[in-house]
Structure 1
Amino acid sequence: MTALLELKDLTVTYRTGSGDVDAVRGVSLKLEPGDTLGVAGESGSGKSTVAMSVLRLLPRSAKITGEILLDGEDVTTMKWGRLRAVRWGEASVVFQGAMHALNPVRRIGEQIAEPLRIHATVPEPQIKARVADLLRQVDLPASRAGAYPHELSGGQKQRVMIAMALACGPRLIIADEPTTALDVIVQAQVLNLLGKLVAEQGIGLIMISHDLSVLASTCARTAVMYDGELVEQRPSAELMASPEHPHTQALAAAFPTVGDPVSRYAPATSTPLPPEPDRERGTEALLSAQDVRVTFKDRTGARINAVAGVSLDVHRDEIVALVGQSGSGKTTLARTLLGLQQPTSGTVRYRGEPMPSTAAGLKAYRRHVQLVLQDPTSALNPRHSVYEAVAEGPRIHGVGDERAVVTRALEAAELRPAEKFFARLPHELSGGQRQRVVIAGALALDPGVIVADEPVASLDASVRGEILALLLRLRRELGLAGLVITHDLGLAWNIADRVAVMYRGELVEVGTVEEVLLDPKHNYTKSLLAALPGGVSVRTAVD
């Protein structure tokens, strides 16, 4: 039987101003009808280049050699008319980042109908019914066809992308990071949906991700890429249980299993941290929220309680993980604690003193409570050097001996020697180095509390562990308090001392990491843990 897709010695070379770059070298893969294949690797490993080459969606600067056989027909030799018919009709792509892939000014139904009009022979009177059927296939009501993208949640937008991919009845779907930036429950829903479609319709699925646990929960086989080459390919369960290649081992270690004592206070890093020392948590609450409420009004005038009576303390020398789904109120609470959002009622205190309400008072307050943003690329001005980026805060607050302050902050963020990085621009840094610069900018003002919003969500697996280890070192060595906002329970298990679970604007469970993640009391916490693609380890720290 002819394979649905077969890659034979695929090599992709990009022509650049400084010479040719081999992005993919000698990759061979095979996918049968109804089969599922995961492709794992970090940014730059070549995994997305492999996926996009299947439908020749690469830029003109790319040169493809080798064979790409789709149902036995070589895609590399197809003429434009045939290639246009193959796209959407025989193979389609679920692109990464549904928020950016959907047109913000067109209704959902129109966007799903577009491939039907261009690539299929569906009569115009039947298109509306076909769109409604596609929405039902991805578990969305047909009434959502009239909605705009901004009126949908992240998970709903991702379902719309899947509906578009299914529109012309393809036999192969390529899903490029389909769960990136989705919380754990929505991620589980999207993965279950893809699994159901494969089972019911016999579709072949290639899923690209840097998270091995996501691939293992959906794909029968997983292939791991590193530096443009295929370094390991085995059944997913076998590969997760005993990875052989060092890069596969690093990817597996980067996403710890909740409940595994080996990864408690031990992020995957090139320089392992010493064991967590015995200590008693301080009783002084550096930052506290007392019955904080934040209320907004929607377009109809109805009141929405984004934060509904939250009380939470963050002590010196501890990291608190604030976890919950998108829309649970985590970010609104964090903005309120930073003085960026005025609470409707309740009090925010730092070292027992109420948060000031004047501009001058807030300026002084924010020197003590600093923010680390999620995406370092967006957080840094591309025209400012590292020195300028870190020096901005000290200049605003009039901190003396600027050069010494910047040097100390960069070295605390483990960018050493600091002088080596002073003149560099953001594009000359790796993703991990950019995030360290953002952290250095916060440290430059010698704060007592750092509020980190998804600090590793946009980073590669190998870099993720290094940044988490840095946050732990800062807590241990400087006594910093940290409030880490995340939907990643593995991160909480990795570095947090306590966990606060937020649901519909309320804190439904607060306690030590072991109490909340190993013995949850609230049904919502249990549902978060049940949705983890890697599950929860049966071992506990006591064992």
Structure 2
Amino acid sequence: MTPVLRVRDLTVSFSGSDGAVTAVDGLSFDLARGEVLGLVGESGSGKSTVGLAAMGLHDAARTSVGGSVTVGGVEVVGAPDARLRGLRGARIAMVFQDALASLSPFHSVGEQLAEAYRIHSGVGRAAARTRAADMLDRVGIPAARARDYPHQFSGGMRQRVMIGMALVNAPDVLIADEPTTALDARVQRQVLSLLAELRQESGTAVLLITHDVGVVAETCDRMLVMRGGHLIEEGPTGRLLTTAEHPYTRALIGAAPTLTSTPGTRLPTVPAARAGAFLSAATASRPAAVSGGAGLGAGLAGHRRSASPGPGDAAAGAAPEDAARAGAFLSAATASRPAAVSGGPGLGAGLAGHRRSAPPGPGDVAADTTAAAEELGASSAGEILSAATARRSASPGAVAADGIVMGSGAAEGPLAEVVDLHVEFGGRRRGPWGRRGEPVRAVRGVGLRIEPGETLGLVGESGSGKSTTARVFAGLQRPTAGGVRFDGRDIARAAVDARLRRELSRDVQLVFQDPYASLNPRRTVEEIVTTGLRIHTDLDAAARRARAAELLEQVGLDPAHLTRYPHEFSGGQRQRIGIARALAPRPRLIIADEPVSALDVSVQAQVLNLLMDLRDELGLSLLFVSHDLAVVRHFCDRVAVMRAGVVVESGPRDEVFDEPKAVYTRELLAATM
């Protein structure tokens, strides 16, 4: 039987200022009708580049694609645009990871689904709207919201819209690039069940690009493992998960926390093989991968994005540290203590300098372009941690060696707390002169406290209000009612108290989910990472640059990349930059909003190990917002579960996970893979 997707000797290279970057080198595989094939690998492995090549979405002027890719016998490599437009959407479709960048902000989600269906089916507008409403309902979004715009949905809801758009034409091949990355357990299971249903109904084949081994185990028939643009191992999913032959595959599988893992223990990290072990000379010099790509409209309706993936999105500058990071910092992550209390400003940028592009929309309860943290390596520079620990024990107002003035520090009581918190967003106006609808009650009567040195896990499905609550803790969202205090001080006063605002921007830092939305595209990496140092220290330019170089090394990036811009990095690398930025002011509280949801399991382990070390060494407090219950159980001391703006259950970690009282908590645990 002829495979619906056939890849032979696929090679993809990008042209850049430093020469050609090979992202995929000699890859071959088949995808049969009705089969689900998992493509697994770390950031920079080339797996997303494979998906883009299958769609024919690479820019011919900047990209060289060799080999053969056929969809239903139709050649994609070198095909004219007219042929590709006929294939995309009808025969092959793609779900991208970045929902906000892939949906048009100028059209309602219903209009976008209807357009994708009408272009390929030729039906009238009424029939297309009906089909769009049906698909929205199938992916868990009420048909009544078809008139809403992307910014009015949370991040998870936007991803559901993208999946509905890809499925609207029942394509032969669906390429899903991290489709459930930011979804909570219940919605993730719903989406995966939908993909399985589509597969059974129409024989649609699925190429599932993911870093989530649990998803692969649940859904995939076969599994391909990539690293540095090369195929490492392939075979039936069951065999690879139990008796994988390659040590890299075994390490990837072992790095993922589960609900049965021992909480608080260090997670095993993937040993970093030297580039020469299995990479060609070209790949060894610069392993690469495209992490983003063209928008969903490009794949479904022939609509072209204004920018196509370039050498930067191919992990330009990743050198061996991305796909095959030198073993030094990974071994340090497991054998030593990852020292890293010195990154750039997360919240500092948000409060004192860098402004976000848009305020949260009425329905954007759990989203607001939250951004980034990925492939975080560890440094063995113990003296940095020692110095930081010494600073923590210094008297209030003391000046550290790096010029950062320490906060006052309350003697007793919680570090941060909210009491009877309420947050409402104004209802949407119906027409230019219409009356506003009912306000959205994002948070209702929430009470939470974070003790010094404690990690509080905030769990809930998309739209539950957990990210809005986190923004209130950070001082980025004014409460409608209720009290908010940090270190005994009223956070609400920051709006009129410049000194308090400055102190908060140093003491409270954010690590976001979306790396691209949180980094200023007009600033170099050095400018991004040193923003907090410029605000909170008297270091001169040379000292700040040296500090920034040190920070990049701590998060596993080459200090030579300080002069580059965010678009020149893969998604994983951009997340590392965000981590470095957040650590610079040496904060007392880090608010991590889905910091590992988009990460490879190996990188996720590195990040969690590092955060645990920071917490233990510095008494650092964390508010950890996540939908991944396995990660929360492994990492957090206490857990609060939110639904529809209300805390339905909270308590010590073991109590919540072992003896859940709320029905909703039990449902989440049952849905966790």
Alignment of 1:415-426 (within 5 A): 415=554
Structure 1, unmatched stretches of 5+, are 276-281, 535-543
Alignment of 1:23-172 (within 5 A): 23-60=23-60, 61-76=62-77, 78=79, 80-122=81-123, 126-132=127-133, 134-135=135-136, 138=139, 143-172=144-173
Query: Matches of 1:166 and 1:523 in 2, distance apart?
Result: 32
* Alpha-carbon shift at residue 377 of structure 1 (Å): 5.0
* Alpha-carbon shift at residue 228 of structure 1 (Å): 1.0
Larger relative contact order (CA 8 Å, sep ≥ 6): 2
* Alpha-carbon shift at residue 284 of structure 1 (Å): 4.3
Structure 2 vs 1, CA of residues 159 and 372 (structure 1 numbering), >3 Å: closer, same or farther?
closer
Structure 2 vs 1, CA of residues 157 and 339 (structure 1 numbering), >3 Å: closer, same or farther?
closer
- Are the aligned partners of 1:322 and 1:502 in contact in 2 as well (CA < 8 Å)? yes
Match of 2:418 in 1: 289
Alignment of 1:308-347 (within 5 A): 308-347=444-483
Amino acid corresponding to residue 19 of structure 1 in structure 2: G
Structure 2 vs 1, CA of residues 109 and 480 (structure 1 numbering), >3 Å: closer, same or farther?
closer
- Are the aligned partners of 2:555 and 2:579 in contact in 1 as well (CA < 8 Å)? no
- Are the aligned partners of 2:552 and 2:559 in contact in 1 as well (CA < 8 Å)? no
TM-score by length of 2: 0.69
Report % sequence identity.
41
* Alpha-carbon shift at residue 39 of structure 1 (Å): 0.9
For residue 456 of structure 1, the aligned residue among 570, 576, 596 is 596
For residue 498 of structure 2, the aligned residue among 354, 360, 365 is 360
CA RMSD in angstroms, aligned pairs only: 3.6
Amino acid corresponding to residue 72 of structure 2 in structure 1: D
Shifted more, 192-201 versus 71-80: the winner is 71-80
- Are the aligned partners of 1:370 and 1:450 in contact in 2 as well (CA < 8 Å)? yes
Structure 2 vs 1, CA of residues 439 and 130 (structure 1 numbering), >3 Å: closer, same or farther?
closer
The one-character-per-residue Cα deviations of 1:312-363 (angstroms, maximum 9, x if unpaired) are 2222222121221222222222222233333344333344454462413532
Query: Matches of 1:387 and 1:72 in 2, distance apart?
Result: 48
* Alpha-carbon shift at residue 417 of structure 1 (Å): 12
Alignment of 1:290-305 (within 5 A): 290-299=419-428, 300=436, 302-305=438-441
- Are the aligned partners of 2:552 and 2:558 in contact in 1 as well (CA < 8 Å)? no
The one-character-per-residue Cα deviations of 1:98-133 (angstroms, maximum 9, x if unpaired) are 332222222334323334443334466754454455
Structure 2 vs 1, CA of residues 368 and 524 (structure 1 numbering), >3 Å: closer, same or farther?
farther
Residue 510 (1) aligns with residue 653 (2): no
Match of 1:538 in 2: none
Structure 2 vs 1, CA of residues 450 and 164 (structure 1 numbering), >3 Å: closer, same or farther?
closer
Match of 2:630 in 1: 490
TM-score by length of 1: 0.83
Amino acid corresponding to residue 510 of structure 2 in structure 1: V
Match of 2:664 in 1: 524
* Alpha-carbon shift at residue 283 of structure 1 (Å): 7.8
Q: Which structure's residues are more often strand, by fraction?
A: 1
Match of 2:234 in 1: 233
Match of 2:9 in 1: 9
Match of 2:583 in 1: 440
Amino acid corresponding to residue 477 of structure 2 in structure 1: Q
Query: Matches of 2:505 and 2:143 in 1, distance apart?
Result: 50
Structure 2 vs 1, CA of residues 506 and 420 (structure 1 numbering), >3 Å: closer, same or farther?
same
Structure 2 vs 1, CA of residues 137 and 291 (structure 1 numbering), >3 Å: closer, same or farther?
closer
Match of 1:210 in 2: 211
The one-character-per-residue Cα deviations of 1:447-482 (angstroms, maximum 9, x if unpaired) are 432222223344444333222222111111111222
The one-character-per-residue Cα deviations of 1:266-287 (angstroms, maximum 9, x if unpaired) are 2344322689xxxxxx984222
The one-character-per-residue Cα deviations of 1:436-456 (angstroms, maximum 9, x if unpaired) are 42232231xxx4322222233
- Are the aligned partners of 1:432 and 1:467 in contact in 2 as well (CA < 8 Å)? no
Query: Matches of 1:400 and 1:157 in 2, distance apart?
Result: 42
- Are the aligned partners of 1:96 and 1:178 in contact in 2 as well (CA < 8 Å)? yes
Query: Matches of 1:103 and 1:386 in 2, distance apart?
Result: 28
Shifted more, 53-62 versus 78-87: the winner is 78-87
Query: Matches of 1:161 and 1:372 in 2, distance apart?
Result: 27
Amino acid corresponding to residue 330 of structure 1 in structure 2: K
Structure 2 vs 1, CA of residues 340 and 5 (structure 1 numbering), >3 Å: closer, same or farther?
closer
* Alpha-carbon shift at residue 2 of structure 1 (Å): 1.9
Structure 2, unmatched stretches of 5+, are 270-329, 338-410, 429-435
Match of 2:620 in 1: 480
Helix, strand or coil for the counterpart of 1:54?
Answer: helix
* Alpha-carbon shift at residue 194 of structure 1 (Å): 1.0
- Are the aligned partners of 2:520 and 2:528 in contact in 1 as well (CA < 8 Å)? yes
Amino acid corresponding to residue 13 of structure 1 in structure 2: S
Structure 2 vs 1, CA of residues 153 and 314 (structure 1 numbering), >3 Å: closer, same or farther?
closer
Amino acid corresponding to residue 422 of structure 2 in structure 1: R
The one-character-per-residue Cα deviations of 1:36-67 (angstroms, maximum 9, x if unpaired) are 11111223212122222223222203333333
Query: Matches of 2:170 and 2:637 in 1, distance apart?
Result: 49
* Alpha-carbon shift at residue 424 of structure 1 (Å): 5.2
The one-character-per-residue Cα deviations of 1:351-399 (angstroms, maximum 9, x if unpaired) are 4454462413532551564122314555454565666555544554566
Amino acid corresponding to residue 99 of structure 1 in structure 2: L
Structure 2 vs 1, CA of residues 232 and 284 (structure 1 numbering), >3 Å: closer, same or farther?
same
Amino acid corresponding to residue 201 of structure 2 in structure 1: E
